Chain A
């Protein structure tokens, strides 16, 4: 093995492995091994004779681990330029496969997102992530690329948006949302911060629209925006009078006409918005324009959101409702989350020990070897275990970000950040879901969840980053 010493010496060894980031590789291997240990616990079945029988899921995962090592080796041996060249074809192929799976794929748990070849299931979206990451890197490392230019921004939007759209059509929303993690990368590449305001605003509206009635939301927004504007202009009396006028108008409308309170408020606000917009444009009071536009956006978004919600499948509706705390049903839809929390919570500080997790062993945790593998960590290894695993992930993510900074060429940096963002999103959503912080979305815990295609895909994803990092010193010609 090559020591850290070599790496620190400007990686001037000719051997490829001398330049490989051993920390990232070590973290990667640690997580894969931890995953296999947990899968042993989750899937050991006494009824199967031999402990080494391939009927055990953990034996299959070990085999997949071996296959992943081969892929890792191949990736590390490839010339880095190949990745630049492969970006377009890989992306196009990825889109093609996504469309193919939409047409010919197999439906599992309501999502038409799987191919099945002789008993092996493959979820193409795992590989589409790699392709998209490479495509992002390719597009954003283009010589003339400037993220602050609208056409370039649109280009990036398309790179993310096309696979996202197809994935959502597959009814695999969870995996689709992974692509949103590229916002992380865009931030690093210096995208205008104002793009985050509407996103945060939209998410906030989305969540509150389930908790509060529209009347409450709009009244609150109206008051908030008016106060903001009053604060900015320091013309308090005008704003208070305006606010009173609008609310009074809404009240009168609802009392004197047959309109409901909600409709009255909408009418009053619409008129006020139009009038105010006119005033703002005429007097060139720019500070008014943003609040008005956001308010109008909310007036369109909230009803649309309600309408779309009714179009969702009942189980998806329920997941969202339980997540925002609108439904309490320990034996029903919330069952998975409750059971996984019970498993993790009962682990305590040090856990119940390897193979001794009762909730795991007796089947109370659903999907325990795939999406809920983190419960095994929580129950059997306790808080020490969960803390260690989170630390490993965060270390890997930080390492990838550091590698991204270290790589001088933008392609490598964007790619490394993309990988970090994907990992971060997966860990956040998956672990969050097992402890009730996030709604249940069927996305795996990277490297640890049982599943061959997922393990292979994440291996390739990470190994490309390591490979790109390993070639830092001979890339000057690509530098911008």
Chain B
């Protein structure tokens, strides 16, 4: 059987078997190496590690070039679980370098383990010197990533400048050109000018081995992109003045807004209480943030653009101007004031109260003394003007005037979240009163009460409008952005009111009198500067818990100086500050003095105002209630 054809056929069969096996192997190799192209890309992605290089965020300086926000170098500490040494590492040494508690390290290591191949952030904000120590100590699996953190040389403007935070999940969904872990501006300038400040991320392609260790640049770095620094922004803020204003506002709740009338540039914008912006940087940010979140005085809330206050008597200026323009009022017109404006008959008799002052005033004096009755007459005459047929149409006309002064709508400041205040429209009045309403129903609007509401920014804008004799520029907080020729064109347009500029002199006379001769604003007097001003003492609907009485009135003051070629227009609004003259006037005056003269001639007044700490029963009650609810929730 082992001879002849049979054997050679067995031999032949086996040769065929060998050939088939060889053919299968070679065929598969041919497919893998020649036909299927996907392996090249897979091999590239194996060895290539794109490393994101974060840019320096742009800095923000004040109008004099002094830095408000700077970026400083810090590092993120990253870990890749797979690259940790099997034998473990000296965790005590590590936490001493990173300056974190051991629980934090354990927690982060647990998280890192869930995605063992990918880098996990252990802790951020590692200072340069600690980074060098970490590098020297050679912890395998850990590495650092260059980042920048914000710092604030003057520690001012927490709720004005905004802060920087890691991008949230919702934002990530909306904005395509961001990635997880990117920083993004929140609030204030940081948020509005995010696109300019953020800069461009760079990327460098490195070759890495299977343990993630970098072995050099990929392709000689030909595909790398350098990060591009964020743009420098020049703000309109005067840093020194802002700091001074913030100090003056300590212990008070409210707002200060100062505008350069000739440009609409915002010099000062304080929302008090504010906070030290450094609190929103670094590892304690979370704690600081939640502490602020629970504070019912809301230090992060930009009252200057978000709080709708009753403008109070400051609004009488608008009333007077409209009256003059409409021809229902002349500067010499006198009205009686019997401690108020009496209207209605019989059981419907009402009185709009007024404080005690000299009687039978003309327009200038009425402005200076802030007579309520006078402006009730004016307002009544405007909206009941026969020219318009009925009160509703009169009200509509009045609305148009008021809008032209920047009330009732957003001004368009370059900050997000601005409120527009409120001006009651005829439609709204119809809705509330069922069409049966007359001038008496809306009379409180005459003196900036009732449904009238305005933000401190709008009040400052009113001061600027009067200073300009009839127009304003949209207030803005940024003067220029590096690399841009100009800002949005809306900041260069004059917005004229519907009142001719000739009528303004009368009102300005009254404002000047109020400060310099007789009236409510005498404390604002600055020798040689012809300060003009108008106080406001605004009532509000914040009742005490026992409902029997209210908290003190809000104290308001708008002013500009000097009378000719005004350099500063300012509005100060202090919640529960009492009379306009008691809190708002001195603060506004000191800020004006500081801005105009660079000196303080009344140090005792500065001391008094800085140390003035108002009693905020309204907020304390809310805080207590909130804390009690929180405690109850926690207990659950």
Contacts and interface: CB of A to CB of B under 8 A. Distances in A.
Interface string B7-49: 1101101110111011011101110111010111011001100
B2 interface: yes
A394 B7 CA distance: 21
Contacts of B34: 348-349, 383
B284 interface: no
A437 interface: yes
Contact of B25 (A342, A348, A390): A390
A190 B11 contact: no
B342 interface: no
B207 interface: yes
A116 B117 CA distance: 35
14 contacts: A188-B14, A343-B43, A344-B33, A346-B42, A349-B34, A364-B47, A378-B29, A383-B29, A383-B34, A394-B19, A424-B21, A427-B25, A431-B25, A435-B25
A359 B43 contact: yes
Given A345-B38, A348-B40, A188 B10 contact: yes
A346 B40 contact: yes
Interface string A344-359: 1111110000000011
A344 B32 contact: yes
B288 to A, nearest CB: 40
A242 interface: no
Contact of B210 (A190, A364, A431): A364
A387 B11 contact: no
A228 interface: no
Chain A binding site: helix, strand, loop or mixed by DSSP?
Answer: helix
Contact of B39 (A345, A383, A386, A397): A345
B209 interface: yes
Contacts of A436: 28, 32
User: Lowest 3 A-B CB distances belong to which pairs?
Assistant: A345-B39, A346-B43, A362-B209
Nearest to B215: A362
A345 B32 contact: yes
Contacts of B30: 383
B211 interface: yes
B495 interface: no
A412 B28 CA distance: 34
Contacts of B2: 190, 410
Interface string A387-421: 10010001001100100010000100000010010
A417 B17 CA distance: 13
Nearest to B19: A394
A382 interface: yes
Given A342-B43, A345-B38, A362-B47, A190 B117 contact: no
Given A342-B39, A424-B18, A359 B29 contact: no
Nearest to A378: B33
A187 interface: yes
- Name which of B2, B28, B34, B38 has the most chain A CB atoms within 10 A of its CB: B28
A190 B1 contact: yes
A149 interface: no
A428 interface: yes
A295 interface: no
Interface string B415-457: 0000000000000000000000000000000000000000000
A382 B47 contact: no
Given A188-B10, A364-B46, A390-B22, A344 B29 contact: yes
A184 interface: yes
B29 A342 contact: no
Contacts of A417: 14
A331 interface: yes
A285 B26 CA distance: 46
B18 A359 contact: no
A189 B167 CA distance: 75
Contacts of A359: 43, 46-47
B208 interface: yes
B279 to A, nearest CB: 42
- Name which of B6, B8, B46 has the most chain A CB atoms within 10 A of its CB: B46
B33 A382 contact: yes
A184 B11 CA distance: 10
B26 A387 contact: yes
A193 to B, nearest CB: 10
Contacts of B36: 345
A432 B25 contact: yes
